[in-house]
């Protein structure tokens, strides 16, 4: 999750709690004190709206999976801000009489506190769920990156093995060529030896016949 968004979120939660307290205290004030308190509340509402806009801009600048989570959380904060504005309008309304203020002191304040506390509790629970979801998304992203790195490493190993096999194939092909050339040379030598044998044999036969003829003529005379 964006650290910038979390910073705005903390500021808003603190400001919302402070504004709720001021709204509760403004209901029991009169005259100038009440006007001053309402002015402080309105200024705080302006600051809260500014934080909402900043959170909205920050959330929309993030990746889609994170943006969806933060926008869902932002809707809760916008609803909380609208409730605060409604409370301020009710406080500043000129139609409220003293009886209504007394009734508010007796029951309205307790109800408002319960509503605000319940809403903050829901916001905290929603924030916790969203944080858990963000954690699972980060874990899934981490696992995906680790798997991607492992796949790249395996592909590199396979490429190296392929290169080794191609080199071995080229080496075997060269050896096969050398064996073929050696075989041709041996065949040629064998043929030459056979031919030389026939030549030598022929010469021996001719020499023997010549010797026999010489002996024959010598014996005949």
Structural domain including 25 reads: 1-96
pLDDT of residue 95: 37
Q: Would you say residue 34 lies in a domain?
A: yes
In a domain, 78, yes or no: yes
Q: Is 11 inside a domain boundary?
A: yes
Task: Judge whether 83 lies within some domain.
Answer: yes
* C-alpha to C-alpha distance for 34 and 44, rounded to whole angstroms: 15
pLDDT tens-place values along the chain, 221 residues long: 578 889 999 999 999 999 999 888 888 888 888 889 899 999 999 999 999 999 999 888 889 888 888 999 999 999 999 999 999 898 887 535 544 555 545 555 555 556 567 788 888 888 888 788 777 878 867 877 787 778 777 888 888 889 888 887 888 777 778 888 888 898 888 888 888 889 998 999 999 998 988 888 888 86
CATH number at residue 63: 1.20.58.400
In a domain, 195, yes or no: no
User: Within a domain: residue 14?
Assistant: yes
- The tally of domains found in the chain comes to 1
What was the pLDDT predicted at 107?
A: 58
Question: The whole model's pTM is what?
Answer: 0.43
Q: Return the pLDDT at 217.
A: 87
């Amino acid at each position: 999750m964006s650290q910038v968004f979390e910073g705005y979120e903390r500021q808003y939660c603190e400001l919302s709690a402070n504004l709720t307290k001021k709204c509760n205290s403004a209901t029991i004030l009169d005259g100038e004190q009440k006007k001053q308190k309402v002015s402080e509340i309105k200024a705080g509402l302006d600051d809260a709206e500014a934080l909402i806009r900043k959170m909205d801009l920050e959330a929309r600048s993030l990746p889609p999976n994170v943006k969806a989570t933060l926008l869902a959380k932002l809707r809760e904060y916008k609803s909380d801000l609208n409730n605060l504005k409604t409370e301020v309008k009710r406080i500043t309304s000129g139609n409220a009489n003293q009886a209504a203020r007394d009734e508010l002191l007796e029951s309205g304040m307790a109800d408002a506190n319960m509503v605000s506390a319940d809403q903050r509790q829901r916001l905290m629970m929603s924030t916790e769920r969203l944080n858990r979801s963000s954690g699972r998304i980060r874990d899934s992203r981490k696992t995906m990156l680790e798997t991607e790195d492992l796949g790249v490493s395996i592909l590199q190993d396979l490429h190296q093995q392929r290169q080794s096999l191609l080199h071995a194939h080229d080496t075997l092909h060269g050896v096969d060529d050398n064996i073929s050339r050696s075989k041709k040379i041996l065949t040629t030598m064998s043929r030459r030896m056979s031919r030389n044998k026939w030549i030598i044999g022929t010469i021996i036969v001719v020499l023997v016949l010549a010797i026999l003829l010489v002996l024959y003529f010598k014996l005949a005379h």
